[in-house]
Amino acid sequence: MSNAPPGKQLSPADRFAPANWAVAADSSDLLSDLLAAAIQEQFHAQLHGLQQWICELLIKNQQLRMALVEMNAKGVGDDNAHKR
């Protein structure tokens, strides 16, 4: 990906010459794309984990709500009923 003839490496001055900026920009674009893809993948993994956690909380909430309704139907925990 360099503009140097085969078998010859670019000098430091040549690497930063305007003629080689396109090569550096391509490398930078590739690095930016890879970084963006990695960040996006991490975001999706975290989002999936949060979605699972929310589902578990909703299930637990429903279980507790059903248990409370059942307890109320049986009169368990109704302290006022015992005082009358």
**Per residue in 42-77, pLDDT tens?**
999 999 999 999 999 999 999 999 999 999 999 875
More confident residue, 9 or 40: 40
For residue 37, is pLDDT > 70?
yes
The model carries a pTM of: 0.50
Instruction: Give the CA angle between residues 41, 43, 48 to the nearest 5°.
Output: 95
User: Tens digits of per-residue pLDDT, 5-19?
Assistant: 566 676 666 666 666
More confident residue, 17 or 82: 17
Backbone angles phi, psi at 8, to 5 degrees: -125, 135
